[in-house]
Structure 1
Amino acid sequence: MNSSRRPTPADRHTPVLIVGGGGSGLTASLVLSDLGIGSLLVERHPSTSVQPKAHILNARTMEIFAHHKVADDIYREGAPQENCGAMVWLSSLGGDEPYDRKVLHRADAYGGGALAGRYAQASAYRHANLGQRWLEPLLRRHAEERAPGSLLFHHELTDLTEDDDGVTATVLDRTCGRSFQVRAAYVIAADGGKTVGRLRSIPMLGTPTFMEWINLHVRADFSPFIPYDDAVVNRVSSLSEDGTLEHCGVVPMGPRNWGRFSEEWTLMFSRPPGDRDAAGLDDETIVKMVRRTLKLSDDHAMEVQSISRWPVEGTVAERFRSGRVFLVGDAAHRHPPSGALGLNTGVQDAHNLAWKLAYVIDGLAGPCLLDSYEAERRPVAQRVVERALFSLFNQIAFTSGTAVVPGARPEWNRAQMTALFSDTPDGETRRAVLREYFDTNRITTAHLGLEMGYDYADAGFVGDDRTARPQPDPLGLTLVQSARPGSRLPHSWLRHGQQRLSTHQLQAAAGSFLLVAGAGGAAWLSAARKLSEARGVPVTAHAVGADGGPVDADGTWTRLRGHDEDGAVLVRPDGYVAMRWLSGCAQPADALDAALDAALAREPGGSAPTDE
């Protein structure tokens, strides 16, 4: 990078250039549009993903999509709620051995079954289940409606330079072979690490490729082999002829029927890197291996739509920001799919970054606010990568409970699997022990605290109300909701007129701050109104319990908010608490103004410094 270089004349100008048209990039595009910021998205492929890929969208992600008016479409096109409640482990789909076609374990998963009540207390939104093959066109449709002509597929970034005033990108139109220049103030790299990270020399730190993942997208009727209709994922662990346990995920993908009657499926299995059975396998051999693992007969129809191979690693970018360039999604963090954390984290990256870019571009925030993106999101990514790696190996380790030993004689291992399902006291003991192993897998399927419990207080861009931080659950299973600065706004149902609203539905529009005061909060509301007009920062304000305000009918919000009737909570546009006042103060306008200055990295008094 040469910061003194004069920029070359550009063919197109845009405030934000988005590189990559997957889930993270498309989310960035539509969120920026809702915030009134123009963007240009370039994607090197001619279309959105042809692979089903990630499919579970957690409640925090659905809160974001609801705020940007796409959640209803996702729920409508995705799996019905009754088909999204469990994870099931099977010994095979076919086969005739005593241990074939058995249920090894079944667990409620991702807010389903017995988990539903706990998840409903945390969010107004449930998980969704829609593979990226169908999700990405939906997001693209919304993004293009909001920014016509601003999404360029089959266009590839080939070069990127930066100067004092912005960035100049060289983009290749892969359809006609012509290159052109794009001038932008900022770049969002949502390209999975394919180009931008390399151009900016940003290394990935952590565990490099340790296995090759192979996904098959198939059309088949598996309904005779799948015992449950609500399994989000079926995991097959079958004993092969040589006595080893082989694993394969069998994931229903709809798209019209769901559960065991899905028409399309993703089959997932892995191989060690560099092994002769890894990425170099031809398609025919892969199909034979999958059939063998599932113990499907050769005459059972299975139409292969596509096969993808990708390296599995556990890495985090050394930095999420390089000058005017910001990394999101797989460009910033990569890990195995265990726990369904990848796409969700990428969407949340884009959401965290977009409102900050919008405020800086509009001159309402100081440029240093953009430093908060890495400060807040990189620790989240690090935690996600660590958990995904641990979850993957924990899932594999459950086989210890079967008494099948790698390297043992096939006869021994077949005897262990037979004994596991025997109708004897020994069999009952073995199955009880196996359940103990499987129970640890709840760190993968029931990690509500991990999905929503992130805390940004340590990043330094929120206020401090001098209260103690709630002790997090080390397993990440439980969520302690808190209105402490840095925490996600707690969910609670309120009654406002004839409407039943979640606290997350109180913000009037994208990009607005939210002030929620107690019944004695008239002075806070007046201060919010005057400051919003004077500073140009939109603030939606409510006094819960006051005349005309929302009503806390069941007392949940009063319990969670942590302040008295004269106090208040200020919430950022991304739904995280910027400041909390435990009680009233003599000068609420001054207190609110100072909190907005801190949240927006402004000089005291509301000015936004321009010297970055």
Structure 2
Amino acid sequence: MSTKIPVLIVGGGGCGLSAANFLADHGVDYLLVERHAGTSTIPKAHYLNQRTMAIYRQHGLDAQMIEQGAPLEKFGQIRWITTLSGEADMDARVVHEMEAFGGGSLRETYARAGALLPVKLPQHRLEPILREHAERRSPGAVRFRHEMKSFRDEGDRIVAQIFDATTGETSTVEAQYMIAADGGRGVGAAVGVQMHGRPSQLNVTTAYFTADLSPWWREGTLITHLLNPYNPEMSTNLIEMGPTWGKHCEEWVLHFPPGDPVQVDQTKVVPRIREVLGLPELVVDLHHVTNWTLESLMADRYRVGRVLLAGDAVHRQPPTVGLGLNTGIQDAHNLAWKLAAVLSGQADDSLLDTYEAERLPIGRQNVAWAVSAASHHQALLEAIGLGHRTPQHLRAANFDAYFDTSPMGETVRARAREMFATHRGGCQAHDMELGFSYEDGALTPDGTPEPARAPLRDVYHPVTRPGHVLPHAWIERDGKRLSTLDLPGPETTLVLITGPEGEAAWRRSAARTGQTFGVDIVVAGIGEGAEFADVEGRWAKLRQMSGTGAVLVRPDQHIAWRCPDLPDNPEEELSIAVAQVLPPALTPALT
């Protein structure tokens, strides 16, 4: 049997299933193959950041995630404690608490930055939602228990051999392009992609279990770091995994520290869980124990011929800051509209080269930031004498000093608070979520320098500079409230946002330019007297252009071009910008 399809997706995890939904919305047919029988049964990643939620909102995927996930008030804090309970002097002590990922006083700042707030939803609950939507949008296109055994790039197509584990049959698939979202399990190596960095930094054991912790659990915590005063091998962290959120959460994961003996003896896992938590009688139903390797790796290429790699196939990093899965989803988002443009004939194949030009630098930044945040957290704990590497004979004395009620104890805690505040680069990195930009790719730089960023990336400044994500502002038309981020979408090719004074001229130019290039350019005027009302006046403060200017926005909500004022020949300027975003096989005359 042989199947011909525009896009073959290899891998049915969060990245691959997201790509499937995005392609479907853009009207692109695909076939997704995944060797496993179903979606993940392990929680894995559990934080969907604000940029990712904006993407899922654009594709109508957000409602179930919000419904099933934890709202911000249920996870917007990080805690460092000794144990959950216990009778020893140092048990159940709170070392420090910190607002995180938009929680507490950060909520207002995050709410201003987007139409949706971040959501906590573990991967084993996210993937079924993505699969359900993909199967509904593209019946028969999502095939689990199907493994790609081999493939070759023949220059004008990919030819792959697909094994169906249910029937035992092998079929041939011919695709114009392949998205390798296989987690680095073979496609990258087969096409010569090399991963650079540290392939094996630490070995970690994760226990996934059910237990009733309601008598001791403090609601609103994303991660609880357990710092044992006596034994560094029992300093670990605990994370709730739903499906009920808060005090009555049923499922949990606990990450044991590197070097802990449970890595080689799983019979010790349940007793160690009880010991770490300070709950010797706790009833534990152990679901799964995973031994995994902490890596920090980056691919040297994202595209090789007709193979395009995404997600863990091109970047793998520590889970700190929650950038891993989010980066992969954003890879897929960047790639989907470009594949749609090329396959529909709107753009030349060279548009796909901009995928690597744009996403590889972001992947490199995110891997480096996650590594830095993880290292800093450990260094922070060591600096205050409570870390994993603190000599065992000093641990009890250091904890005694920390909780001492004397003036000197207050000094110790005050110094520690100053140091804990620097961890905001790991748990308040709002600018890492939203402030990244593409400096080269399917865009027209306007010559302005990249804005200065807060060193710890804890402050996000929205801008309309080309390459950046379109800033969020609430707008209204005919009584319906929208975000500016709702203007671009899968059903539109390009959106031209204008000021009220220049709206008419830009509409004429967009109509003629769109006709020349064979693309739809949707014009959205925002401001007094324009199509959309600027309901809070926020867009006028963020747009960084006059009332006659305009910004051109791509389907992935990134700004492609900015014109501060109405030029003498707006059609010519707009045409040049459109040709940069959607390079045609034969550039039309700009007349």
- TM-score where L is the length of structure 2: 0.95
Q: Give the AA of the match of 2:242.
A: G
Give the structure 1 partner of residue 308 of structure 2.
326
Larger mean CA deviation between 210-219 and 573-582 belongs to 210-219
**How many residues align structurally?**
588
Alpha-carbon displacement from aligned partner over 1:366-387 (angstroms, at most 9, x marks no partner): 1111111111111111111111
Give the structure 1 partner of residue 116 of structure 2.
125
Contact 1:206-1:315 within 8 A present in 2 as well = yes
Deviation of 1:560 (Å)? 1.3
Deviation of 1:509 (Å)? 4.3
Contact 1:68-1:510 within 8 A present in 2 as well = no
Q: Give the AA of the match of 2:36.
A: H
Deviation of 1:131 (Å)? 0.6
**Aligned equivalents of 1:258, 1:495: Cα separation in 2:** 34
Alpha-carbon displacement from aligned partner over 1:212-248 (angstroms, at most 9, x marks no partner): 122221110112222x2111221212134xx436332
Larger mean CA deviation between 596-605 and 76-85 belongs to 596-605
**Aligned equivalents of 2:387, 2:466: Cα separation in 1:** 50
Give the structure 2 partner of residue 196 of structure 1.
187
Contact 2:500-2:530 within 8 A present in 1 as well = no
Deviation of 1:452 (Å)? 1.0
Alpha-carbon displacement from aligned partner over 1:140-169 (angstroms, at most 9, x marks no partner): 000010110011101111111011211111
Match 2:579 to one of 588, 597, 600:
597
Task: Verify: 1:253 aligned to 2:253, yes or no.
Answer: no
Alpha-carbon displacement from aligned partner over 1:369-427 (angstroms, at most 9, x marks no partner): 11111111111111111111111122222223443577776453212212211221122
Task: Verify: 1:62 aligned to 2:53, yes or no.
Answer: yes
Match 2:224 to one of 214, 218, 234:
234
Deviation of 1:535 (Å)? 2.8
Match 1:289 to one of 260, 272, 276:
272
Task: Verify: 1:244 aligned to 2:232, yes or no.
Answer: yes
Task: Verify: 1:161 aligned to 2:152, yes or no.
Answer: yes
Summarize the Cα distance change of 1:386–1:405 in structure 2 as closer, same or farther, 3 Å threshold. Answer: closer
1:568-587 alignment, distance < 5 Å: 568-587=550-569
Alpha-carbon displacement from aligned partner over 1:464-523 (angstroms, at most 9, x marks no partner): 323333112221111121111111111111222212221101236444311101112211
Summarize the Cα distance change of 1:408–1:536 in structure 2 as closer, same or farther, 3 Å threshold. Answer: closer
**Aligned equivalents of 1:338, 1:574: Cα separation in 2:** 26
**Aligned equivalents of 1:206, 1:238: Cα separation in 2:** 32
Match 1:43 to one of 34, 53, 68:
34
Match 1:481 to one of 446, 451, 462:
462
Q: Give the AA of the match of 2:466.
A: P
Q: Give the AA of the match of 1:215.
A: T
Q: Matched residue of 1:350: which SS?
A: helix
Larger mean CA deviation between 377-386 and 461-470 belongs to 461-470
Q: Give the AA of the match of 1:569.
A: V
1:145-156 alignment, distance < 5 Å: 145-156=136-147
- TM-score where L is the length of structure 1: 0.92
- In the alignment, structure 2 segments of 5+ residues that lack a partner are none
Summarize the Cα distance change of 1:187–1:606 in structure 2 as closer, same or farther, 3 Å threshold. Answer: farther
Alpha-carbon displacement from aligned partner over 1:436-461 (angstroms, at most 9, x marks no partner): 2211111111101111111112x243
Match 1:99 to one of 90, 98, 113:
90
Contact 2:151-2:160 within 8 A present in 1 as well = yes
Contact 1:20-1:189 within 8 A present in 2 as well = yes
Identity across aligned pairs (percent)? 37
Summarize the Cα distance change of 1:416–1:163 in structure 2 as closer, same or farther, 3 Å threshold. Answer: same
Give the structure 2 partner of residue 139 of structure 1.
130
Give the structure 2 partner of residue 503 of structure 1.
484
Q: Give the AA of the match of 1:208.
A: P
Give the structure 1 partner of residue 426 of structure 2.
444
Q: Matched residue of 1:136: which SS?
A: helix
Give the structure 1 partner of residue 446 of structure 2.
465
Deviation of 1:189 (Å)? 0.7
**Aligned equivalents of 1:178, 1:167: Cα separation in 2:** 20
Summarize the Cα distance change of 1:419–1:464 in structure 2 as closer, same or farther, 3 Å threshold. Answer: closer
**Aligned equivalents of 2:380, 2:277: Cα separation in 1:** 19
Contact 1:508-1:540 within 8 A present in 2 as well = no
Q: Give the AA of the match of 1:15.
A: P
Match 2:507 to one of 525, 547, 561:
525
Q: Matched residue of 1:118: which SS?
A: helix
Q: Matched residue of 2:394: which SS?
A: helix
Alpha-carbon displacement from aligned partner over 1:240-289 (angstroms, at most 9, x marks no partner): 4xx4363322111110x2123201111122325xxx8475x232123333
**Aligned equivalents of 2:388, 2:123: Cα separation in 1:** 36
Deviation of 1:17 (Å)? 0.4
**Aligned equivalents of 1:407, 1:74: Cα separation in 2:** 39
Task: Verify: 1:384 aligned to 2:384, yes or no.
Answer: no
**Aligned equivalents of 2:389, 2:196: Cα separation in 1:** 33
Alpha-carbon displacement from aligned partner over 1:331-361 (angstroms, at most 9, x marks no partner): 1100110011111000000000111011011
**Aligned equivalents of 2:233, 2:209: Cα separation in 1:** 23
Deviation of 1:132 (Å)? 0.8
**Aligned equivalents of 2:119, 2:434: Cα separation in 1:** 15
**Aligned equivalents of 1:223, 1:307: Cα separation in 2:** 23
Match 1:415 to one of 388, 393, 397:
397
Q: Matched residue of 1:17: which SS?
A: strand
Q: Matched residue of 1:356: which SS?
A: helix
Deviation of 1:587 (Å)? 2.1
Larger mean CA deviation between 396-405 and 61-70 belongs to 396-405
**Aligned equivalents of 1:546, 1:321: Cα separation in 2:** 45
Deviation of 1:604 (Å)? 6.8
**Aligned equivalents of 1:464, 1:382: Cα separation in 2:** 21
Larger mean CA deviation between 496-505 and 548-557 belongs to 548-557
Match 1:339 to one of 321, 325, 347:
321
Summarize the Cα distance change of 1:405–1:551 in structure 2 as closer, same or farther, 3 Å threshold. Answer: closer
Summarize the Cα distance change of 1:478–1:410 in structure 2 as closer, same or farther, 3 Å threshold. Answer: closer
Give the structure 2 partner of residue 5 of structure 1.
none
Give the structure 2 partner of residue 3 of structure 1.
none
**Aligned equivalents of 1:44, 1:564: Cα separation in 2:** 54
**Aligned equivalents of 1:413, 1:388: Cα separation in 2:** 27
**Aligned equivalents of 1:94, 1:278: Cα separation in 2:** 22
Contact 2:444-2:577 within 8 A present in 1 as well = yes
**Aligned equivalents of 2:510, 2:147: Cα separation in 1:** 45
Q: Matched residue of 1:105: which SS?
A: strand
**Aligned equivalents of 2:386, 2:479: Cα separation in 1:** 60
**Aligned equivalents of 2:279, 2:214: Cα separation in 1:** 13
Match 1:563 to one of 545, 555, 566:
545
Q: Matched residue of 1:312: which SS?
A: strand
Q: Matched residue of 1:423: which SS?
A: coil
